[in-house]
Structure 1
């Protein structure tokens, strides 16, 4: 009896596996062979995002901020900041040392890209951001925001904001780094 049930379970498992693979093959075959050209792509399609390069001056300033540390916040506490759409730091906790919006020679090249610097290593910390202001009479513009550790800068986070359609856009934001 046990052998019969074992054979039946094996046959059922192979049947499920076969159907799963066949279904995946059908789904893969149903995909169009050619992708639509970029100009025909759906509105709001994501633009590829890459962080701006770290300049030598930025690297020196970020290293100096880490050397002047007050001491990292205790576990379970947070560091936070409110940043205006032009990169000006409006309010912040004690460990936030600065914020700026990236600028470059080409108009709009680094639109919606910011760096928030702290005085301790945050590259392995949890971070979250939302679009918003600290002005009680102003409703912030709609949009999207993403946060990532800053490339080659362990004491900074990179923030990228977009309009609701997915295009890079300067937006005010709040950021929290959990310790």
Structure 2
């Protein structure tokens, strides 16, 4: 990390009377999240009691409350400081019991169920700004701020809200609208909807890249939404297009490799969910994947994000990131 970057981060932290490694004075709530390792074992979480690995790439995450009315987003992600190098995708669904969330992880580009670690984040009533949408564009459930969904073609959706969201982050994961089942693996990306600042654009594709209808879970993180997590929208060149107040900066550190800095650290108690997505309006763009972990060089107060094509090759892509927990 360049000395200028260190000094800039410390200067902002000092102005807020917060130093890296301490708890932020205006901390957000932990929310509901889980982080697992390569065996499906729970590493850390909030509101969660355990994880059961059912078979290769199939997991049930046990929470302390009814999760059926909720939305779930997830990312294949390292539980510690190491990035997951093998490419893969994740899908979500309601679990086999009301208190469970079902997660499936798939190797890419073959689309075969395989074990991967993952980070999972849930939003439930009365959280605002989330939706669970069927492949035909039907709104299955969502917060009161979500007014409607329009399917504009195979794999292309406009999720409409009752307020402007162009200054927000959009996290989305493919999956089922209801209970456990094997969802088709593929990719998903998000963007601001062109011509409608009150809407989010979502695209779903097969692993080879063709547009295809898929159910998905969407969570929108806004500055005024009472969010349970910190968030950032980062351009392909590593510059943050917009952030929550406690995600202060970002940079590109290599091809498809990014670092996002937390104000007030400590990232050890958090989960990081990311999705490829354009920071502006229009198409969400390329057929790519996003992976997260704590940054190995600065694990106390930075998140590492890598963006890759479905074959695992690093490539520069914009992304949306949310950070769950008190970190």
TM-score w.r.t. the length of structure 1 is: 0.59
Partner of 1:4: none
Name which structure has the greater RCO, CA cutoff 8 Å, separation 6+.
1
Map 1:102-113 to 2 at 5 A. Answer: 102=253, 110-113=254-257
Partner of 1:99: 250
1:72 to partner: Cα distance: 2.6
Count of residue correspondences: 119
Q: Residue 134 of structure 1 aligns to a residue in which SS?
A: strand
Closer/same/farther in 2, CA of residues 83 and 68 from structure 1, 3 Å limit:
same
Partner of 1:72: 27
Closer/same/farther in 2, CA of residues 64 and 148 from structure 1, 3 Å limit:
farther
Per-residue deviation, residues 25-74 of structure 1 (Å, max 9, x unmatched): xxxxxxxxxxxxxxxxxxxxxxxxxxxxx333333333334333463323
Contact 1:62 1:155 in 2 (8 A): no
Contact 2:252 2:258 in 1 (8 A): yes
1:114 and 2:265 aligned: no
Which is greater in Rg?
A: 1
Per-residue deviation, residues 62-92 of structure 1 (Å, max 9, x unmatched): 3334333463323331001111111121122
1:136 to partner: Cα distance: 3.3
Higher helix share: 1
How far apart, CA to CA, are the structure 2 residues paired with 1:114 and 1:68? 25
Partner of 2:320: 174
How far apart, CA to CA, are the structure 2 residues paired with 1:55 and 1:84? 20
Q: Residue 165 of structure 1 aligns to a residue in which SS?
A: coil
1:95 to partner: Cα distance: 1.1
1:55 and 2:15 aligned: no
How far apart, CA to CA, are the structure 1 residues paired with 2:278 and 2:237? 12
Partner of 2:286: 141
Partner of 1:89: 240
Q: Residue 7 of structure 2 aligns to a residue in which SS?
A: helix
1:130 to partner: Cα distance: 0.9
* Structure 1: stretches of 5+ with no match in the other structure: 1-53, 103-109
Higher strand share: 2
Map 1:155-170 to 2 at 5 A. Answer: 155-170=301-316
How far apart, CA to CA, are the structure 1 residues paired with 2:323 and 2:312? 25
How far apart, CA to CA, are the structure 2 residues paired with 1:174 and 1:145? 9
